[in-house]
Amino acid sequence: MPNESRTCGQRKESFTSSLDIYDQDLISFFWMMQMGRVGKELDVDFIVSAGDNFYKTGLKNVEDDNFDLSFTDVYTEESLQKRWYAVLGNHDYKGDETTQVDKRLQQKDTRWFCDYFYTIPVSVGPSSTGE
């Protein structure tokens, strides 16, 4: 019997399963369903995306199919058809980060809003305003 040296978690044989390939698709599907449910329950006015918007490598340009595949075609629940305020995360900088702040993306999907710096006045209670 040959002496096999492997580390913990290393596979003996190489194989690919559908979960290995589509894990991010499954995560985004379940995330979208949960977001849709919560958005409906809370009747949200807007959504905040706190970075890593286009995992794993950001967007290459305004025509990158990943915008539709990871945003427009994923977050389709009625309760998610609100303005999305996004900031850039580390994975977004692996692409061309200027793409996500490009106003032409708003023409593709009017929900999308991303910029390097911005403030949004919001009502946080019956008589108070936060920024």
pLDDT over 80 at 1, yes or no: no
Average pLDDT over residues 54-71: 90
Gap between the Cα atoms of 16 and 30, Å rounded:
22
pLDDT over 50 at 8, yes or no: no
- Average model confidence (pLDDT) across the chain: 82
Q: How much is the pLDDT for 76?
A: 93
pLDDT over 60 at 116, yes or no: yes
The radius of gyration computed from the CA coordinates of the chain, to the nearest angstrom, equals 19
> What secondary structure letter does DSSP report for 78?
G
- In sign, the C-alpha dihedral spanning 25, 29, 32, 38 is negative
Single pTM value for the model: 0.73
Q: How much is the pLDDT for 10?
A: 46
Gap between the Cα atoms of 74 and 11, Å rounded:
32
